[in-house]
């Protein structure tokens, strides 16, 4: 009978289906996503114009989205009253080894990027000190001017946003997408 000779063959085929497709490649481990862009760290360094210690506010999330939440140091950025600071933004991708300097890339494509500084509840004005080739502000280099001290016990915020505006940059925050958005608790004391 044809049937009886066929059956074991079919069974063997069935069993081999899984074995055959189990390639060696299936034992590979995932690798770090080197090609994928990440920004893990934003630093805002403020140096008093008349000289003095540089203050640094830092947002850092080295394990990427989710997982351990980002840390913001210091807990509150405290600036002196009625002082002018020179500000500098540093962006890093610390998942790469060595860490990738993203601010250098932003500098290279400064006609597509705009940093926006917004303050709330604190006497602080931040303005861009650099311009791109179209004479529009960039914001990697800034001037920060503080006013009167905060009322006792109050803290405000400084929000730094990096807008990516390829081909649409017009000096305002509206066009494009948000690449970075970080809020630092800030006070003038």
Partner 1 sequence: MLFRAPAAPVAAPRWLWLLFLLGLALPTQAQPACTLTLSGLVTDHESRTALPGATLVVLETQQAVQTDLDGHYHLSLCAGTYRVQVSFVGYAPETIELRLNSATVRDFRLHPHAVLLRGALVRGERVAPPTTQATATLSGQALQTTRGQALGEALQRLSGVTAIQTGPGIFKPMIHGLHSNRVTILNNGVRQEGQQWGVEHGPEIDPFLASRLTVVKGAASVRYGSDAVGGVVLVEPQPLRDSAGVGGELNAVGMSNNGLGAASGTLEGNLRRLPALSWRVQGTLRKAGTMRAPGYYLKNSAFEERNFSGAAGWQREAYSVEAFYSQFNTRIGILPAAHAGNQADLLRAVGRPRPLETTDFSYAIERAYQQVRHEVGKLTASLRTGTAGRLRLTLSQQADYRDEYDKFRPRNDNRATAGKPELSYINRTSTGELLWEHKAWQQFTGSFGLAGTYQANRYAAGSRQFIPFYTNKIGGAFLIERWQHGRWLLEGGLRLDYRDLAVRRGDRDSTGVFFVDRSRFRYLTPAASLGATLEASPHLTLSLHSGLTRRAPAANERFSDGVHNGMYELGNDLVPGAAPLTPETALNLGATATWHSNPRFNGELTVYQNRIRGFIYQVPLLPLVQTIRGTHISWQFLQTDATFRGLDLSATYLLTPQWQLALKGSAVRTRDTRADEWQVLMPADRAEASLRRNWSGTAPTSRLTAFYAQVGGVAVARQTRVPDNYEARDLLAPPAGYALLNLELGGTVHWGRQPLEIGVMATNLLNHRYRDYLNRYRYFTDEMGRNVTLRVRVPLNFSH
Contacting positions for partner 1 (CB under 8 A): 1-3, 6-7, 10-11, 13-18, 20-23, 26, 28-37, 39-40, 42, 59, 61-70, 94-95, 102, 105-106, 109, 113, 159, 161, 164, 166, 177-182
- Give CA–CA dist 159/182, Å, rounded: 6
Residue 104 CA neighbour count, 13 Å, CB half: 5
Closest to partner 1 by CB, 22 vs 49, is: 22
CB of 163 to partner 1, least distance (A): 9
CB of 152 to partner 1, least distance (A): 27
CB of 42 to partner 1, least distance (A): 7
Closest to partner 1 by CB, 79 vs 137, is: 137
| CA-to-CA dists, residue 94 to 90, 100, 139, angstroms | 12, 7, 22
Counting other chains too, the contacts that 134-138 makes at CB distance below 8 Å and 24 or more residues apart are: 134/169, 136/111, 136/169, 136/170, 136/171, 137/171, 138/106, 138/107, 138/110, 138/113, 138/114
CB of 43 to partner 1, least distance (A): 13
């Amino acid at each position: 009978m044809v049937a009886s000779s066929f059956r074991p063959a079919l069974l063997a085929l069935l069993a081999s289906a899984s074995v055959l497709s189990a390639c060696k490649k299936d034992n590979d481990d995932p690798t770090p996503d080197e090609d994928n862009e990440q920004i893990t760290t934003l630093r805002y360094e403020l140096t008093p114009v008349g000289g003095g210690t540089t203050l640094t506010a830092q947002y850092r999330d080295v394990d990427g989205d989710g997982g351990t939440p980002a840390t913001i140091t210091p807990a509150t950025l405290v600036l002196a009253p009625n002082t002018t600071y020179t500000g500098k933004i540093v962006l890093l991708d610390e998942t790469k080894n060595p860490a990738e300097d993203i601010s250098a890339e932003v500098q290279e494509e400064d006609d597509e990027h705009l940093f926006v500084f917004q303050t709330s509840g604190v006497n602080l004005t931040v303005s861009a000190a650099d311009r791109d080739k179209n004479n529009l502000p960039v914001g990697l280099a800034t001037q920060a001017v503080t006013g009167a001290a905060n009322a006792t016990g109050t803290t405000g915020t400084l929000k730094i946003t990096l807008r990516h505006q390829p081909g649409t940059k017009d000096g305002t925050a509206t066009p494009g997408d948000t690449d970075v958005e970080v809020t630092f608790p800030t006070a003038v004391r």
